[in-house]
Structure 1
Amino acid sequence: MLRKDIGWSQKELATKIYVNNSQISRLESGETTNINIDMIISLAKLYHVSTDYLLGLTKISVPKSYDITELGLSEEAVKRLILRTIDVDVLNKLLEHKQFPKLCSLIRNYFDNTIADGIMARNELINLATEPLTELMSAEPEKRAEIIKDLSFLNSTKLAPNEADIEKIKSLLLAIIRDIKSEIAMKQPSSAVATTEAIQGIRDALPDKPQSELTIDDVSIAVAAYVGTVIPMNETSTALLQKLSKKIIEKSDAQK
């Protein structure tokens, strides 16, 4: 149960969606079958899930539609996703990899020169260590060959400002790509992004007439009919779902 997963009491949930505690209690116990449409929408927004998920239409909790600005993507990035100029399956696999957040953090450090300043300070310490050796070479010429060897070793340990960043990024990126390659070899698909079963079920329930003649009522009745084949519903629940479907479709049309 989403409420318990978050750790809210029934009273806390009721306060958040502005209903009586008793309504939440009756809803969770199954005593209430006639669920208010506005309550379903409020719960979906509060839990950041889709109304379809709350109604049992899908196992995918993430809403199918988001305000694109919530993703923080640039206009060009959105265009590439929509126009499929990038391989979305590869992108999914990268984003889903458990080490991808760490890779992004390393790249951010590289862009911000977070580690570069420390590398520069380290190189300065090496310079300080080589100065006495240079002076010693002048004072004791007989040790010149040995001192040159030591100087060469110390200087070889210096790093370019971003060299460490780049090596870490390369190493982690290659490790991620190898993991993805293994998944592809085992034919493991990316996590589900949608299911066609519900869509096909709704289409089958639509009346047999041209698409241009289909009404919002036709679609909402078809949605309720499909859900009725998946989960048991009485007449009240069916009527409620039809109303909810109609309201969602009308809202979607109004936003176009």
Structure 2
Amino acid sequence: MQPKLTIQERLKDLRVERGLTLEQLSAETGISKSALGKYEADDFKDISPFSMVELAKFYGVTTDYLLGLTEQKNHPNTELDALHLGDDAIEVLRTGKFNHRLLSELICHKDFQRFMLDTEIYVDRIADMRVNDMNAVLEAVRQMTLMKNGGEENDLHLRTLEVAQIREDEYFGSLIAGDLKDILRDIRSEHRPDTMTADETSLVATVQGQLQDAMNFEGSVEEKKAKALLATLGIDYDAITMEQFVNLIEVLKLSKHLKTPISQRGKTTMTHGKGKRKRK
């Protein structure tokens, strides 16, 4: 399930949705820019009642929404009857273990109504009669043409009349799937910057790239091993000093898995690229 947004996240989202900077919001609400910035900071723990009320009024939401007591910005006391939901649907929404935020985004998408219309047309067979009538006309013409040409079906005109007939399940299945895919693609794109969204590049791919870079590195065996180890730890090899490099090599010598000259004390000449650079 999607975790509830914090007060800080709600305040920032509302400001960003309206395209306002902290300076502009300060001018509109009379609350100082520094205070507004603190209210949106991750480590901020307190907000004055006055500011809470003023921001709720400005954004047109309830204070309960800002405090995280409800997910409803503008309709905190909506009667269930007004939602036109059956008991089973209400029970699913109340107890269902799914991402409620995602469901809300799906319903609020600009193309959701079209998706529902296409679904209704298919489920309630609204277009069945028209589709069947059209198919019947096409098939009648095809049969008449077939009789005229002596039963030869391998004909471009006959084949065209056949494939032009609509198969409802295939047509509406593709139509509805396309509607839903377009909606989900938009929502997926909007979720890209979210902290709960997985990174586009996997950790494994990143580490593999770093290790490959280390293997292609033009340097001594010691430098390659050091670069490979540091890459797996997310440390920039070029950022370490000569002293740190020497200490790292001493640690690597203790490994039983590095059966190379690096594990033979006193028999390796250690170099480090940074040690050869001229001082500025």
TM-score, normalised on structure 1? 0.45
Q: Higher relative contact order by CA 8 Å / sep ≥ 6: 1 or 2?
A: 1
Higher helix share: 1
TM-score, normalised on structure 2? 0.42
Answer with 1 or 2: which has the greater Rg: 2
